[in-house]
Amino acid sequence: MKKYQLGEFEEIVMLTVGVLYNEAYGVSIKKEIETRLSRKVSMGALHTALKRLEDKGYLRSFDGEATEERAGRPKKYLQITALGKRAMEYTRSTREELWNAIPKIAFKISG
């Protein structure tokens, strides 16, 4: 089912949106990924991934309250859609099936 394929960074972004739940917006997603994974994330790469995920129907965005600190611009929050949840579940089950298919001996250290 090709329509459910998520790239590695897309999967990380989707999982992070889930972790942040009602507080998922660009800067919070970036900070959460960098903190949890000790991985630098550029805003450009993040925005590209968010746009791609929204275009696929996996995320939806909505505007929050406008704030003075943002010169009257609202934050753009993100939520996982039902289709996004199915894509995440598909990705998870595919990974689990592959992990479970690896024979134990494949991880045996020889020496």
pLDDT at res. 111: 60
Which residues lie below 8 Å from residue 31, measured CB to CB, with a gap of 6+? none
Which residues lie below 8 Å from residue 1, measured CB to CB, with a gap of 6+? 90
Q: What is the mean pLDDT of the chain?
A: 92
pLDDT digits (tens, 9 = 90+) for 57-68: 999 999 987 777
Entry pTM: 0.86
Locate 106 and state its tokens.
């494949």
All structural domains of the chain with their residue ranges = 2-97
Number of helical (H) and strand (E) elements in the chain, helices listed first: 4, 2
CATH of range 2-97; options 1.10.10.10, 3.60.150.10, 2.160.10.10, 1.10.1760.20? 1.10.10.10
